[in-house]
Amino acid sequence: MADIQYFTEEGLENLKKELHHLKTVQRPAISQQIAEARDKGDLSENAEYDAAKEAQGMLEAKISQMEDLLSRARVVDQSMLDTSRVMILSKVKVKNLKTGKDLEYTLVTEKEADLKTGKISSGSPIAKGLMGKTVGQVIDIEVPAGKIQFEILEISF
């Protein structure tokens, strides 16, 4: 059995919208491209037809992957989460002890990650280093650029 994937309500809704767009907009558009290419004659030497069929295959694979992900998706009930420790969906305020800069991260699933909005994947080095930690702890996290030392200032949801 495949792993359950946890999402925020917003993240799950975005996934459903993306799947709906693929099925109702992109799938018909590719079908139309295939039909137009087919109308141009000999399919054995029709590059447009081959390209459209390849795009269709890639789209169908993406739709299948998203449907599989949705079948395993669960919304996390934030009211049941423990705010004493960092976990998935935690909003964590940390201080970079080298620069003195305060940063805020929300730990989300890989699919929801968006660094511009402070949402980091729970599988990222920083998130892995923060998981299970409590307010006041000072931790060293190994990242590709070296080691970063953070102090956890606040945990919320």
The pLDDT tens digits for 29-67 are 999 999 988 888 777 777 888 889 999 999 999 999 999
In this predicted structure, what is the pLDDT of residue 1?
45
Strands (E), the chain: 5-7, 73-75, 91-96, 102-108, 119-121, 138-143, 146-156
Answer yes or no: are the C-beta atoms of 151 and 95 closer than 8 Å. Answer: yes
65/116 same-domain check:
no
How far apart are alpha carbons 41 and 89 in whole angstroms?
54
95/136 same-domain check:
yes
147/82 same-domain check:
yes
Q: Is 52 exposed, middle or buried (0-12, 13-18, 19+ CB in 10 A)?
A: buried
68/92 same-domain check:
no
End-to-end C-alpha distance for the chain, whole angstroms = 30
Task: Dump pLDDT digits (tens) for 94-135.
Answer: 999 999 999 999 998 888 899 899 999 989 999 999 999 999
In this predicted structure, what is the pLDDT of residue 75?
86
Strands (E), 4-56: 5-7
39/94 same-domain check:
no
Predicted confidence band of residue 2 (pLDDT cuts 50, 70, 90): low
55/83 same-domain check:
no
Domain that holds residue 63: 5-75
30/65 same-domain check:
yes
**Domains in the chain, number:** 2
- Residue 96 corresponds to which tokens in the numbers above? 């970079």
